[in-house]
Amino acid sequence: MDDELRTAAEVVDRLRHLSSAPELAKLSKRLPVGEPVLGVRMRDLFHTAKAAVGLPENELAELFEEDAFEARMAAFCVLDFRARRKPDIALRQTYLDRHDAITTWDMVDRAAPWVVGGATAGGPYDVLHELAASDDPLRRRSAVTAPLWFAKYGDPDDVAAGYGVAAKLRDDPDPVVRKAVAIYDRHAGRTRPVPEP
């Protein structure tokens, strides 16, 4: 399509063009102190990422290396859009390999369900328990956010596996993880009640 973005530089240029001072001020208030930010509305960021779904792997790798929050978020959105077409172990591995580029909970929430959860459905579930055991709270959030895919699309074994991860993290010291556990419990509870302790 005419709007297709083919390089990381084109993606960053598009994001810079879409930035605004009011959005910069708004994002700067909610993102971690010192997080480099351009000031792009999420809707515009998602449209940009959708135009970049066909990025070659070397260009996607460059996008993950960008300083700005929006560029890295766009890279995780590309993974998400690809996984929505077809969950794939290779996409999941890219997410795991690039987890250091995740600096905010919304990057996790955008990509983990389809990219990690979709590729982990049916087991084995070891990757979720490895993430749950991490010292990094955002990796622990990935562990319990990925199973949201199970809650909507998985079978009872998947849902139970998600509860198993949630049980490990229910008393996590970090609120970014505890909130994700509550979200999983709420969504999975529509399919299968939370097991008794």
3-state secondary structure 114-181: HHHHHHHCCCCCHHHHHHHCCCCHHHHHHHHHCCHHHHHHCCHHHHHHHHHHHHHHCCCCCHHHHHHH
Binned at pLDDT 50, 70 and 90, residue 190 comes out as: confident
Domain boundary among 38, 65, 85: 85
Query: Could you tell me the two tokens for 113?
Result: 């369900």
Whether 65 and 108 share a structural domain: no
Per-residue pLDDT tens over the stretch 85-135: 999 999 999 999 999 999 999 999 999 999 999 999 999 999 999 999 999
pLDDT above 90 coverage of the chain, percent: 93
Query: pLDDT at position 3, please?
Result: 85
Whether 97 and 129 share a structural domain: yes
Q: What is the largest CA-CA distance in the chain?
A: 55
* pLDDT at 142 > cutoff 90: yes
3-class secondary-structure state, position 98 = coil
Q: Is there a contact between 116 and 91 (Cβ–Cβ < 8 Å)?
A: no
Whether 192 and 105 share a structural domain: yes
> How far is Cα 95 from Cα 115, in angstroms, rounded to an integer?
7
Binned at pLDDT 50, 70 and 90, residue 196 comes out as: low
Domain hosting residue 53, numbered range: 1-85
Whether 112 and 173 share a structural domain: yes
Which residues, 6+ apart, have CB-to-CB distance to 173 below 8 Å?
Answer: none
Domain boundary among 49, 64, 85: 85
> How far is Cα 190 from Cα 144, in angstroms, rounded to an integer?
16
Query: Could you tell me the two tokens for 15?
Result: 């994001």
